[in-house]
Amino acid sequence: MKFFHLSDLHIGRQLHQYSLLEDQRHILQEVLTYVEALRPDGIVIAGDIYDKPVPSAEAVALFDEFLTSLAGKGSPMAIMVISGNHDSGRRLDYAGRILERQNIYIAGSLPSCRGERLKRVTLADEFGEVDFYLLPFLKPGYVRGVLQDAEPGSYTEAVSRMIQRENIDFSKRNVLLSHQFYMGGRQEPQTCDSERFSVGGIDNVDIGSIKDFDYAALGHLHGAQQVAVPHIRYCGTLLKYSVSEAEHIKSLHVIELGPKHKEISVQELPLHPLRDVRKIKGELKNILKEAKAANREDYVSITLTDEMAPYKPKEQLEKVYSHILEIRIDNTRTRRRLEEFRDEPGGDDPLEIFDDFFREIQGRHISKEEREFMRQIMEKAERE
């Protein structure tokens, strides 16, 4: 059984002020090229199809174009999709029953009552059946009306109880699609700036609840990685969605399941973005000199190290780089100022610390109304 594992398409996303729709169309076309060449039995997309719960018309059109192209390949390939924390589950579910006639299975929403179950898709190969369970993104409060007992007290408990109620036959081969922040042991997965997490790690889910699946196709983290064991895996994004991902190597994950209890095969196929995301650091004259025609269209974060302020650096850089994300300064003066800021005495009161930070950024103290607003937020965070 061979299938592609995708997640976190974030269609409609912007990188700083730049729309990524053109870049996303390009990379999805490369996925289609791989589909044509390898003919997988299925495609799984583990959440965050769109970047916003209410995506733009252009974003919806691009995903529609992608699904239509996949469905038009003429093979019995199954396409399975779940919602992520960025998606509106109900919007994804639209026309779901009609799409299933085209072998497209979308689980945007969780079961809404005790009689409903997770969407399950069964495929078969020479070794028998494989059941794919589609578990959309959830919070404990989302499953209050589904579980018989009290509302689960944690994300781990919510995921565990939702899986237990399926009465899965683990003597067969089973695959899970899930979009959560999974943890395996004490080592935290690698994260980056383009992901969102709750303060204090309250949304963590222990992998103990999903370890019996033959493969767990995870979404949520943008860096490709396994979680403690090879068969529980984040495939990462197809594109770089923040400067913190500049060193990531993005790839398309091809998963192959053999007979039960045999180790899975994971192949990472190279991807070729329309534009790369890069970090450049050095003196202005060297950065300008080293710019090459092949990478002038890339999204670049530039850090200037000149000790003397150069003449109109932004204007000079814009002549050679068309997609500048940010321009930073890192020299003796800025490092000294940063150390002075770190050494300034501060109290233990979080409001005072926030006030110091706000003053440094905005040039004024927070107002009485802003202080009260922040106090309420901090009290709520402590209670939760």
How confident is the model over 207-247, as pLDDT tens digits? 999 999 999 999 999 999 999 999 999 999 999 999 999 99
pLDDT of residue 207: 96
**In b/e form, how buried is each residue of 16-54, taking b as 16+ CB within 10 angstroms?**
eebebbebbebbbebbeeebeeeebbbbbbbbbbbbeee
Whether this prediction's pTM lies above 0.75 is answered by yes
pLDDT beyond 60 at 106: yes
pLDDT of residue 220: 96
How confident is the model over 185-199, as pLDDT tens digits? 777 788 887 776 654
CA distances from 155 to 26, 185, 228 (A): 36, 16, 19
Q: In what side-by-side order are the strands of the sheet with 277-282?
A: 277-282, 299-304, 323-329
**CA 20 to CA 376: how far, in whole Å?**
37
- Give residue for tokens 């791989």: 34
Local structure of residue 302 (DSSP, 8 states): E
11 touches 63 (CB < 8 A):
yes
